[in-house]
Chain A
Amino acid sequence: MTATLTRPVLPTALVEGLDDPETDGAVKTKEILIICESGDLERTWATTILATSAAASNVNVSIFFTFWGFFPLVRPERRITGENWMQKMLSFMNRPGIDHLKLSRMNFMGMGPWMMKKLAKHYGVAEPRELLEMAQALGVRLIPCQMSMDMMGFKREDLIDGLEEPVGGATVIEMITNGATPLFI
């Protein structure tokens, strides 16, 4: 005897709702929370592309910048940040600022990012910095991680303008459990 596979039957209202432009998305309030954790050029690119795409599509977007992902929030002209030698060493070894991000592979002492940005320019792709500015213009909330800020010795004046108040993990969890779709990048 062979088992017959049956497709799950969806309620009619739900099936109809999928094709109904009146109920398809536009009426729902949608929210996305991107956790920007890596600070790599390609991942920060993905973060800013998705954030601007979502905000342009009427989705409420917040980005939480933490750990290596905190570095893009530092003003690109700041070179050495931090109070003690370890924090200073950190910014010396890992230059902060969204214009100075490294590729996670094929970085080649900066040749990789240079070529990638040259290609981006040729193909009309906006750089992470431009995308972050557009995200702000579209109302994306940029939220710094308080812990990363303290531990790595960043001060408020080291950071770009237009940021939200720094928060911690509990706020992030509260946003997710309240319905924001989380993306960990």
Chain B
Amino acid sequence: MTVTTPVAKTVDARGLSCPLPIVKTALAIKELATGQLIEVLATDPGSTKDFTAWTKSTGNVLVESSVDGAVFRYLLRKK
């Protein structure tokens, strides 16, 4: 899937533990409009499962998930 929409916001949660990556993302996504994309960078290994669970609870969509070394990158679309 090619993403044409530009990323509206980036949350840098590198070095932060649970629940901060989710909490910071939830606070940041409030500012966005439906359909806008938000990028999250995290180093918490638990964040992969947490973001999957979080998208289930909130209805936001996990568009892309990747790992670069120790940094996880999630691309989410606001519901």
Contacts and interface: CB of A to CB of B under 8 A. Distances in A.
B17 A26 contact: no
Contacts of B17: 123-126
Given A26-B79, A137-B27, A53 B19 contact: yes
B71 interface: no
Interface stretch (B2-10, B31-39, B53-61): B53-61
Contact of A49 (B15, B19, B53, B57): B19
Interface in B52-70: 53-54, 56-59
A25 B27 contact: no
Contacts of B25: 56
Contacts of A138: 23, 26-27
Interface residues of B, number: 19
A54 to B, nearest CB: 9
B23 A26 contact: no
Nearest to A126: B20
A184 to B, nearest CB: 20
B78 to A, nearest CB: 12
Contacts, number: 59
B57 A124 contact: no
A174 to B, nearest CB: 25
Interface in A55-72: 55-59
B18 A49 contact: yes
A26 B27 contact: no
A81 interface: no
Given A123-B17, A124-B15, A125-B17, A53 B23 contact: yes
B15 A26 contact: no
B57 A59 contact: yes
B54 A57 contact: yes
Nearest to B14: A124
Contact of A52 (B23, B53, B59, B79): B23
Contacts of A21: 56, 59
Contacts of A56: 19, 22-23, 25-27, 54
| Nearest 7 A/B pairs, CB to CB | A26-B59, A56-B26, A57-B57, A124-B16, A53-B19, A125-B17, A124-B15
Interface of B: 15-20, 22-23, 25-27, 44, 53-54, 56-59, 79
Given A21-B56, A26-B59, 5 more contacts: A26-B57, A53-B19, A57-B58, A125-B17, A126-B17
